[in-house]
Amino acid sequence: MSPTTTYSPSLPVVLTLAERELVRFFRQRNRVIGGLVQPVLFWLLFSEGLRSNDLGYTHFFPGTLVMILLFTAIFATISIIEDRNEGFLQGVLVAPVTRWAMVLGKVLGGAAIALIQALLFLALGWATVAEIQPTPLSALAAVGGMTLLAIALTGLGLLIAWRMNSTQGFHAIMSIFLLPMWLLSGAFFRHGAEGWLGLAVMINPLTYGVAALRHRLTPLDAAGLPAEPLCWAVTGAFAAVMLVACWWVAGRE
Amino acid sequence: MNTTAAIRINEIRHHYGQREALGGVSLEVREGEILGLLGPNGSGKTTLFKLLATLMPIQAGSITVGEADAARQPAAVRAQLGVVFQSPSLDKKLRVEENLRHHGRLYGLSGGTLRTRIDQELERFGVADRRRDIVETLSGGLQRRAELAQAMLHRPRVLVLDEPSAGLDPAARSDLWRRLAAARAEGLTVIVTTHLLEEAERADRLAILDGGRVVADDTPAALRNSIGGDTLTLRTDEPEALAQAVRERLQREVSVIDRLVRLESDNAAADAAQLLAAFPDRISELTIGRPSLEDVFFSRTGKLFHD
């Protein structure tokens, strides 16, 4: 009996795990509130509050999109901690499935949820803000960028959650790492900051995702951003590196 | 009963850091047998379960399921195992049948085969009428049955269960064992961990674990018979003093467990009469009992099962 032939076919495994994520999500209304309603609320508050500083709905729009992707990724992956110690994932871990199929199923499922919510917000922006009127091609490119970011952020969440034993630990990482990462991505502040802040913004891979969306969705607000090809390259690499890292971490046991 | 080994566990050792959890465990489980792994908390039975279920890598020793070696061919081992965890591995937010459908796909089942198997297993474990219910709305006993149906979906050769009656009421527990016995009758091999002595009685064979080692391995009846004779238990206000007095009088090994004086006896009625005559005021109650698995554990380890 060859060890490789006894693994179950991977594609149905990936699809079934992703499907489970989606079905769970739509059965839990509070997750829609956490992942979508809260960022929209922030968008309204930031935009109204900082209108006098010349930062309005247009400026905060790409950052809010990324916040939706980030929050949804966190919600989708924080459940891994309980799931693998006393839930559904226990069964996946003892099934004859390859670890990369498990990782891909989980990440694609989480990313799909994030993407659905971000698309709703994109439609909202398109419908309500005069400056957000991308061409169909730009809109399509933005959706591609959002997909890459959703994969990267869900992967990052899985990476953090995999080794943790408590959800409290995840909350701590969220406060001291994930939220600052969002704040330092150009989502909030204007680009071109000096000193250590500028350096932090520059080495933050999320900066390039936010910038890519800005290039495509709000090009009038794109002054001082990194060049677009660089934005796409970094964002693509971010997603790829996260996937490989997840596979490595989850596959080592 | 068949005599082929379904599982061979050979000299398994396991450490968590410096702490030794298993110190060389060897067991063979025959095809169509229910093996109980009995042990108190910390005896190593959960570690052994995790190694059997392929949840942890094997550090030393080997486990083979059928022809497949767990370290070299984990997928081949996994395909032959059905695993039931202490905390249900069902997704509580999904319907029963949705859980089974996902699970089947993890084991390479699809289409008509998957649908037929789901119908059969739900029927067999008596949850067919609850198939559309969300798992978290089911009672603990029904969830356990749904989980058994899920674990049997891919027709495993060996079913491994970790404390499956945890959180179940006595009726549900009894139902669970009836269903395990029925599946065993169809040739399934079952390994079940437990820390409940009355539950362990229902296994075909028991391996008693203590301190990471197998201290006894036989049928429950043979283990009880190995003690020989009956057990006398004396209740008294001063157990230590009475134990000493009985020891001197009968020249026999006498122990104090839970403030009760205990001794084994080949002629319990005669001993009882003699003790009651000798210490009429000091014995408030005297019981004669057949040896229990608790006595077996005590005689093999010198320790109480529940302390």
Written as six digits, the tokens of B281 are 């005021």
Interface of B with A in 117-146 (CB under 8 A): 134
Q: What is the dihedral of CA A182, A184, A188, A189, to 10 degrees?
A: 180
Chain B: closest CA distance from residue A2 (Å): 8
Residues in chain B closer than 8 A to A93 (CB atoms): 55
Return the sign of the alpha-carbon dihedral for residues A115, A88, A2, A243: positive
CATH class of residue range B5-224? alpha beta
Q: How many residue contacts between A and B have a Cβ separation below 8 Å?
A: 95
Residue A126 vs residues A40, A60, A162: alpha-carbon distances, Å? 14, 14, 37
* N residues, chain B: 307
CA–chain centroid gap for A133, Å, is 23
Place of tokens 């979906």: B153
Return the sign of the alpha-carbon dihedral for residues B90, B95, B96, B101: negative
Residues in Cβ contact with B293 at an 8 Å cutoff, skipping those fewer than 6 apart: B38, B197, B200, B201, B206, B208, B220, B223, B224, B305
CATH, range B229-290: 3.30.70.260
Interface of B with A in 44-73 (CB under 8 A): 53-57, 67-68, 72-73
Question: What residues does B28 pair with on adjacent strands?
Answer: B8
Continuous segment of H or E residues that includes residue B298? helix B293-301
pLDDT given at position B41: 86
Determine if residue B265 is left, alpha or beta; phi over 0 gives left, psi from -120 to 50 gives alpha, anything else beta.
Answer: beta
> Inter-chain contact B79–A27, Cβ cutoff 8 Å?
no
Chain A: closest CA distance from residue B121 (Å): 17
How many CB atoms within 10 Å of residue B185? 9
The ranges assigned to domains in chain B are 5-224, 229-290
* N residues, chain A: 253
B260-265: strand order across its sheet: B254-257, B260-265, B230-235, B285-289
> Inter-chain contact B78–A92, Cβ cutoff 8 Å?
no
Place of tokens 């990440």: A107
Question: What residues does B65 pair with on adjacent strands?
Answer: B7, B68
One DSSP character per residue, chain A reads: --TTTTSPPHHHHHHHHHHHHHHHHHH-HHHHIIIIIHHHHHHHHHHHHTGGGT--HHHHHHHHHHHHHHHHHHHHHHHHHHHHHHSHHHHHHTSS--HHHHHHHHHHHHHHHHHHHHHHHHHHHHHH-TT----HHHHHHHHHHHHHHHHHHHHHHHHHHHT-S-HHHHHHHIIIIIHHHHIIIIISSPS---HHHHHHHHH-HHHHHHHHHHHHH-GGG-TTPPPHHHHHHHHHHHHHHHHHHHHHHHH--
Determine if residue B155 is left, alpha or beta; phi over 0 gives left, psi from -120 to 50 gives alpha, anything else beta.
Answer: left
Radius of gyration of chain B from its Cα atoms, rounded to whole angstroms: 23
Q: List chain B pLDDT tens, one digit each, 307 residues.
A: 445 789 999 999 999 999 999 999 999 999 999 999 999 888 999 999 999 999 999 999 999 999 899 999 999 999 999 999 998 899 999 999 999 999 999 999 999 999 999 999 999 999 999 999 999 999 989 999 999 999 999 999 999 999 998 888 888 889 999 999 999 998 999 999 998 888 888 999 999 999 999 999 999 989 888 887 888 899 999 999 999 999 998 888 888 887 889 888 888 889 999 999 999 888 999 999 888 888 888 888 878 787 5
pLDDT given at position A110: 94
Nearest to B36 by CA among B179, B203, B201: B203
Radius of gyration of chain A from its Cα atoms, rounded to whole angstroms: 19
Written as six digits, the tokens of B83 are 């695993």
Chain A: closest CA distance from residue B110 (Å): 9
Taking a C-beta distance cutoff of 8 angstroms, is the pair A97, A10 a contact? Answer: yes
Instruction: Classify B164 as helix, strand or coil.
Output: coil
Using CA coordinates, name the residue in chain A closest to B52. Answer: A94
Question: Residue B287 carries which side chain, given as an amino acid letter?
Answer: T
List the beta strands (DSSP E) in B142-188. 158-162
Q: What are phi and psi of B302, to 5 degrees?
A: 70, 10
Residue A253 vs residues A232, B44, B302: alpha-carbon distances, Å? 33, 20, 38
Report the alpha-carbon distance of residue A87 to residue B36 in Å, rounded: 24
Residues in chain A closer than 8 A to B103 (CB atoms): 91, 95
Written as six digits, the tokens of B120 are 């059969």
Residues in chain B closer than 8 A to A94 (CB atoms): 53-55, 78, 81, 83
Chain B: closest CA distance from residue A116 (Å): 20
Continuous segment of H or E residues that includes residue B151? helix B140-152
> Inter-chain contact A96–B78, Cβ cutoff 8 Å?
yes
Nearest-by-Cβ selection for A8 from B81, B86, B108? B108
Q: List chain A pLDDT tens, one digit each, 253 residues.
A: 444 458 999 999 999 999 999 999 888 878 777 778 888 888 888 888 877 777 788 888 899 999 999 989 988 899 899 898 889 999 999 999 999 999 999 999 999 999 999 999 999 988 888 888 888 999 999 999 999 999 999 999 999 999 888 888 888 888 888 888 998 888 877 666 678 888 888 899 999 999 999 999 888 877 788 889 999 999 999 999 999 999 999 876 5
> Inter-chain contact A1–B68, Cβ cutoff 8 Å?
yes
Instruction: Classify B191 as helix, strand or coil.
Output: strand
